[in-house]
């Protein structure tokens, strides 16, 4: 059995790595190839190109890299059409994967898309196009299959693999020991994103907020987990915006940071769902190129941007987006969580209910659905 896969950026690599565990349990001699990262490599995945080639967000940023990304997709399509796999699995990265899946499906290759594009939040027109791209969509959230099926797209709710991977009771004490933090420390986890463009636009203002928090409360400890390859980009920003702050840069270890912290200052994206599954209060911030923001905000359907708020359908945690994403506002919102133990406990209970809802043994459910697509 040989499957082709494409996962874009760190969050896609994480999801694909969890999925590969289920696939390899079903088919021990399975071969997988395409575009992926280190989590996929742990399961024997052969990366023809690294996943960070696709780690670009925002219209302006994509335009800057359009030629390179388009050439990569054409090269991958040619290789797969020449040696067709049993199926192609596109993991997230819809702007890259859906176009590739359309070409492969037209040539008779079975296509599965893992992670429904957020058609419920913006760009709902993509749902109609997905019928030509996907034989089946594996959905992370329970309300998504009905939306897709209304447009003739077969879909299955498989739960969220992070809900399986993250324990219901976060290992706070053990994570603090592993990171050299004392039980009594007040700890803020700082997660400015895993893409270079996110570091460019978000990390400076997050670090400025960290500097403000340090001045207001010098005993605070800060941990900042880094995606692979980003240390050289982040270190100069720390020196410029948060000099002298007790900020610990971690290579990876985002889950340890979230388990250990009291609150997290975090960029909108999959990491916010991870923080919710760790039952942590958070302040969600996000910035992008001004033109990208103007284009994206016109296509929004909901008042929320962060996944925890979207899933709870309420502003459970604060969101400070684009112009509102300022150091003073971020620091003040973070401080409010540190001073509101009852509020933090209430949001933890809400996130625990969400955790139970999303826990479905995703790797097995997804593998069962993929097996049906292959055998159809």
Do 136 and 182 belong to one domain? no
Q: Which range, of 2-16, 95-109, 213-227, 253-267, averages the lowest pLDDT?
A: 2-16
Do 204 and 116 belong to one domain? no
Indicate the angle between helix axes 341-358 and 327-338, nearest 10 degrees: 90
* pLDDT tens-digit map of 155-200: 999 999 889 989 999 999 999 999 999 999 999 999 999 888 899 9
Do 222 and 342 belong to one domain? yes
Neighbours of 182 (CB within 10 A): 9
Mean pLDDT along residues 314-330: 94
* pLDDT tens-digit map of 261-302: 999 999 998 899 999 999 999 999 998 777 766 666 655 556
Task: Tell whether 167 is covered by a domain.
Answer: no
Do 134 and 235 belong to one domain? no
Do 42 and 94 belong to one domain? yes
Do 10 and 105 belong to one domain? yes
Q: What percent of the chain has pLDDT over 90?
A: 71
Q: What percent of the chain has pLDDT over 70?
A: 92
Cα 117 to Cα 124: distance, rounded to the nearest angstrom: 9
pLDDT of residue 36: 93
Task: Tell whether 318 is covered by a domain.
Answer: yes
pLDDT of residue 89: 98
For the cut 50, the answer to whether the pLDDT of residue 203 exceeds it is yes
Task: Tell whether 166 is covered by a domain.
Answer: no
Do 151 and 197 belong to one domain? no
Task: Tell whether 121 is covered by a domain.
Answer: yes
pLDDT of residue 106: 96
Do 203 and 326 belong to one domain? yes
Task: Tell whether 306 is covered by a domain.
Answer: yes
For residue 59, name the pLDDT band (cuts at 50, 70, 90): very low
Cα 135 to Cα 212: distance, rounded to the nearest angstrom: 51
Could you tell me if 209 and 331 are in contact, meaning their C-beta atoms sit under 8 angstroms apart? yes
- Sheet order of strands, 155-157 included: 46-50, 31-36, 2-7, 87-91, 111-114, 136-139, 155-157
Do 272 and 147 belong to one domain? no
For the cut 70, the answer to whether the pLDDT of residue 145 exceeds it is yes
Q: What is the domain extent for residue 244?
A: 172-358
Task: Tell whether 246 is covered by a domain.
Answer: yes
Place of tokens 């009594």: 184
Task: Tell whether 164 is covered by a domain.
Answer: no
Cα 35 to Cα 49: distance, rounded to the nearest angstrom: 5
Do 126 and 228 belong to one domain? no
Could you tell me if 6 and 72 are in contact, meaning their C-beta atoms sit under 8 angstroms apart? no
For residue 104, name the pLDDT band (cuts at 50, 70, 90): very high
Do 153 and 258 belong to one domain? no
Number of domains the chain is built from: 2
Do 17 and 131 belong to one domain? yes
Q: Which CATH number belongs to the domain containing residue 195 in this structure?
A: 3.40.50.2000
Q: What is the pTM of this model?
A: 0.77
Q: Is the model more confident about 85 or about 229?
A: 85
For the cut 70, the answer to whether the pLDDT of residue 86 exceeds it is yes
* pLDDT tens-digit map of 35-58: 999 999 999 999 998 887 675 555
Task: Tell whether 8 is covered by a domain.
Answer: yes
For residue 316, name the pLDDT band (cuts at 50, 70, 90): very high
- Total length of the chain: 376
């Amino acid at each position: 059995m040989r499957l082709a896969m494409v996962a874009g950026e760190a969050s896609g690599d994480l999801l694909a790595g969890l999925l590969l565990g289920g696939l390899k349990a079903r088919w021990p001699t399975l071969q997988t190839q395409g575009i992926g990262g280190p989590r996929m490599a742990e399961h024997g995945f052969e990366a023809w190109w690294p996943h960070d080639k696709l780690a670009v967000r925002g219209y302006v940023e994509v335009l800057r890299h359009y030629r390179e990304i388009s050439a990569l997709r054409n090269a991958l399509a040619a290789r797969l059409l020449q040696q067709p796999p049993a199926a192609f699995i596109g993991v997230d990265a819809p702007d890259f994967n859906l176009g590739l899946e359309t070409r492969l499906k037209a040539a008779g290759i079975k296509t599965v898309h893992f992670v429904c594009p957020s058609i419920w939040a913006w760009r709902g027109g993509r749902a109609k196009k997905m019928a030509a791209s996907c034989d089946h969509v594996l959905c992370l959230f329970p309300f998504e299959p009905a939306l897709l099926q209304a447009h003739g797209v077969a879909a299955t709710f498989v739960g969220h693999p992070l809900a399986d991977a993250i324990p219901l009771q976060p290992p706070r004490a053990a994570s603090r020991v592993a990171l050299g933090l004392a039980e009594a420390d007040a700890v803020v986890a700082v997660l400015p994103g895993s893409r270079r463009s996110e570091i460019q636009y978000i990390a400076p203002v997050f670090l400025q907020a960290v500097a403000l928090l340090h001045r207001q409360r010098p005993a605070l400890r800060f941990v900042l987990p880094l995606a692979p390859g980003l240390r050289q980009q982040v270190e100069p920003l720390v020196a410029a915006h948060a000099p002298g702050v007790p900020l610990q840069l971690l290579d990876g270890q985002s889950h340890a940071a979230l388990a250990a912290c009291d609150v997290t200052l975090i960029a909108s994206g999959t990491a916010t769902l991870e923080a919710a599954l760790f039952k942590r209060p958070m302040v969600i911030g996000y910035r992008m190129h001004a033109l990208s923001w103007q284009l994206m905000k016109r296509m929004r359907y909901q008042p929320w941007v962060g996944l925890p708020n979207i899933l709870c359908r309420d502003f459970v945690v604060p969101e400070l987006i684009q112009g509102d994403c300022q150091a003073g506002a971020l620091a003040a919102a973070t401080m409010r969580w540190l001073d509101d133990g009852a509020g933090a406990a209430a949001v933890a209970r809400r996130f625990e209910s969400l955790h139970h809802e999303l826990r479905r043994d995703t790797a097995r459910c997804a593998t069962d659905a993929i097996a049906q697509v292959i055998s159809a």
